[in-house]
Amino acid sequence: MYLKAIVCDVLMREVCQYAALSDHVIELTFLPQGLHREPDLLRKRVQEEIDKTEARHGQIEESNQVLRRIEYDAILLGYCLCSNGIVGLSSRKVPLIIPRGHDCITLLLGSREKYQEYFNTHRGVYWYSAGWIERTIPPGKERYEQVYQGYVERYGQDNADYLMEMEQNWFKEYSWATYIDWELPKSDEYRRLTQEAAAFLGWNYDELKGDPRLIRDLLNGKWDDEDFLKVAPGEIVSPSYDDYIICSQCHRASSGL
């Protein structure tokens, strides 16, 4: 198959690893991690990439003096529900394939059941992984020092002390720093960083072994209904409000037409 994958770049290492091992031809587009903080912007950017892909579908393009027709079999999303950031997405020509899950942690753990089981027994979890560490400054000493210095430069030290006290309040909602280990390069360094962050913040440290099953199946075309939503052209993505998390429905019906 000829596939297009639109993926959050927090999953870049894991997705690239299994895209390279896939039997299929996969075009990869990575979007910035920070989009998940603004669901409307995430939806807009992903829809733009879907539209760009469909604009190429069926077109004849030249490569190395050879003409070929671009025919996509599916557009894969390396996103889950993501605070409803994918709700309303649709395609006109090419099916969308989306993992069933609340967020990217489901993809890193390999199943939404494993995610839910851990969540039920570990309230207040902040997740650490290679992508989250490389593309953000996660809670810990380094983040504290950078934010504090920024406040000092803008507002002075007395105000900075007060602002940092307010800034740290949301940390009280968490009690676990959990590292998801995919045995990628720098795993030992990232494990140590997570342990140091937990000690600095007064959280418990835990570690889970990552499971490539969902990412591998997504990229290998093994899209069973239990783990993946298939969105036909003309349908839109909707929350299902049940264990399946997402569903699709007719665009006309959802628009009230």
Kindly indicate the confidence band of residue 85, based on its pLDDT and cuts at 50, 70 and 90: very high
C-alpha distances out from residue 146 to 30, 98, 139, 152, Å:
27, 36, 11, 10
CB atoms within 10 A of CB 87: 15
Q: Which residue has the higher pLDDT, 154 or 211?
A: 211
Q: What is the 3-state secondary structure (H, E, C) of 124-183?
A: CEEEECHHHHHHCCCCCHHHHHHHHHHHHHHHCHHHHHHHHHHHHHHHHHCCEEEEEECC
pLDDT at position 62, please?
76
In this structure, what are the phi and psi dihedrals at residue 210, rounded to the nearest 5 degrees?
A: -70, 155
The helix/strand/coil state of 242 is coil
Pick the range with the lowest mean pLDDT from 63-67, 103-107, 153-157, 212-216.
Answer: 63-67
pTM of the model: 0.89
Could you tell me how many residues make up the chain? 257
Q: Which residue has the higher pLDDT, 2 or 123?
A: 2
Kindly indicate the confidence band of residue 165, based on its pLDDT and cuts at 50, 70 and 90: confident
pLDDT at position 251, please?
61
- Model confidence at 142: pLDDT above 80: yes
Nearest to 4 by CA among 92, 13, 19: 19
